[in-house]
């Protein structure tokens, strides 16, 4: 919030400090609950009628809030509603994959203003970064802005950003994105502050805010898509590790416990290889399912009694990799996300739980993640909004953990 609102009478009891506390409480309520009347805001923040009216007048004069529609019934005068001025800032949430960049731009209230998707070329850094910048410029142009006018940009990417160097590691799926300070370079390229976060961590944040983990303190989320990853949350905070690599389970070597032989190294193979779309499809075909893709095969198996042996074999592979994580962390919950998990739904999750309990002491429940669509982009947008609201209104950043950010 802006300063200069009158004299202070003391560090803890100054009129300015109290005003700022009340103003932030009002802004937070309007962001959380949407447009409110003065009386409704009064009830939420606990101020008197004159104090609330004065607060709204002050915030309106500073362009922090705006008047909305009148609200009321058939009896009595209709009441004025108030809402946060979303045009004060715009932010972007971005999902980057080897194939495309998917951007959503929202105003400060979280209202979506534009979406843009563009193909990502393959090549070295000098090829992929200009393509990324071009996609961001095109997305910002849809709302009449330059990329540098975005208040904050959060990019979700496969791999882990080392908080000490900003380098993206564990990212063989993203050629051209390794070997440099990714947040810093993108910040210079776009002319604004950029945060780069692991894609699966962003999915975990979305599940914490609006999914199955809203009331869960300790959980593990596993991404079963094009690339295998996990996010570990302890006491509502993401576990990052010394180099940002916590949860990078793709590279673990585990035995293949599937009963049907598909030519894998039974003694040990990379977890990500055993659960790659190609390997899952090979396992499905070994069980007689001839769908054109791994998610299609899993979906067909989940809907047919004959699919039980295939799903059990797939669950054995998933549970084998999960066992070490669950044994160490002892989480309240395991969530399965991404295409294969969505295709298998509760049927696959139940089988993973059964197989997991054969391997570990904790009786951890396993469920499909609730948030579908593009949870990486949704998580990136949520983090971007949190940072921008902190910058503009002084609201606390509620996302779990410190994120690698460019220093602009």
pLDDT of residue 173: 82
- pLDDT tens over the chain, length 408 residues: 443 343 444 444 568 888 899 999 999 999 999 999 999 999 999 999 999 999 999 999 999 999 999 987 656 678 999 999 999 999 999 999 999 999 999 999 999 999 999 999 988 999 999 999 999 999 999 999 999 999 999 999 998 888 889 998 888 888 899 889 999 999 999 999 999 999 999 999 999 999 999 999 999 999 999 889 999 999 999 999 988 889 999 989 999 999 999 999 888 899 999 999 999 999 999 999 999 999 999 999 999 999 999 999 999 999 999 999 999 999 999 999 999 999 999 999 999 999 999 999 999 999 999 999 899 999 999 999 999 999 999 998 865 544 556 655
Q: At what angle do helices 49-61 and 15-33 cross, to 10 degrees?
A: 80
pLDDT of residue 323: 97
Go through 45-56 and write b for each residue having 16 or more CB atoms within 10 A of its CB, e for each that does not: bebeeeebeebb
Nearest Cα neighbor of 97 from 173, 179, 172 is 173
pLDDT of residue 406: 64
Q: Are 170 and 228 in contact (CB under 8 A)?
A: no
Domains of the chain: 15-84 (1.10.10.10), 88-202+375-393 (3.30.420.40), 214-368 (3.30.420.40)
pLDDT of residue 13: 53
pLDDT of residue 2: 40
Rounded to two decimals, the pTM is 0.90
């Amino acid at each position: 919030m802006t300063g200069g609102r009158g004299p202070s009478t003391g560090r803890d009891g100054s009129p300015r400090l109290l005003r700022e506390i009340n103003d932030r409480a009002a802004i937070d309520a309007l962001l959380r609950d949407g447009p409110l009347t003065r009386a409704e805001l009064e009830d939420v923040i606990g101020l008197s009628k004159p104090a609330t009216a004065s607060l709204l007048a002050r915030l309106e004069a500073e362009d922090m809030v705006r008047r909305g529609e009148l609200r009321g019934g058939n009896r009595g005068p209709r009441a004025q509603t108030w809402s946060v001025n979303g045009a004060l800032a715009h932010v972007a949430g971005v999902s980057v994959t080897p194939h495309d960049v998917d951007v959503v731009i929202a105003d400060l209230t979280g209202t979506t203003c534009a979406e843009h998707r563009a193909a990502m070329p393959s090549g070295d850094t000098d090829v992929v970064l200009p393509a990324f910048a071009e996609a961001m410029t095109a997305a910002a142009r849809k709302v009449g802005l330059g990329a540098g006018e975005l208040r904050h940009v959060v990019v979700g990417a496969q791999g882990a950003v080392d908080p000490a160097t900003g380098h993206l590691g564990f990212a063989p799926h993203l050629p051209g994105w390794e070997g440099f300070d990714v947040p810093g370079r993108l910040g210079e390229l776009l002319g604004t502050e950029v945060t780069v976060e692991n894609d699966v961590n962003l999915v975990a944040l979305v599940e914490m805010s609006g999914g199955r983990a809203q009331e869960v303190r300790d959980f593990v989320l596993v991404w079963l898509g094009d690339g295998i990853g996990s996010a570990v949350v302890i006491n509502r905070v993401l576990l990052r590790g010394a180099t940002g690599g916590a949860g990078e389970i793709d590279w673990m070597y585990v035995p293949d416990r599937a009963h049907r032989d598909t030519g894998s190294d039974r003694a040990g193979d990379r977890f990500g290889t055993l659960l790659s779309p190609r390997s899952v499809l090979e396992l499905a075909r070994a069980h007689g399912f001839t769908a054109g893709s791994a998610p299609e095969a899993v979906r067909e198996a989940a809907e047919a009694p004959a699919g039980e042996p295939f799903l059990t074999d797939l669950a054995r592979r998933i549970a084998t990799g999960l066992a070490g994580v669950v044994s160490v962390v002892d989480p309240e919950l395991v969530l399965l996300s991404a295409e294969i998990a969505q295709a298998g739904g509760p049927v696959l999750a139940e089988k993973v739980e059964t197989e997991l309990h054969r391997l570990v002491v904790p009786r951890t429940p396993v469920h499909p993640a609730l948030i579908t669509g593009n949870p990486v982009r949704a998580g990136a947008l949520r983090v971007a909004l949190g940072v921008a609201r902190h910058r503009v209104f002084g609201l606390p950043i509620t996302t779990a953990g410190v994120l690698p950010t460019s220093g602009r």
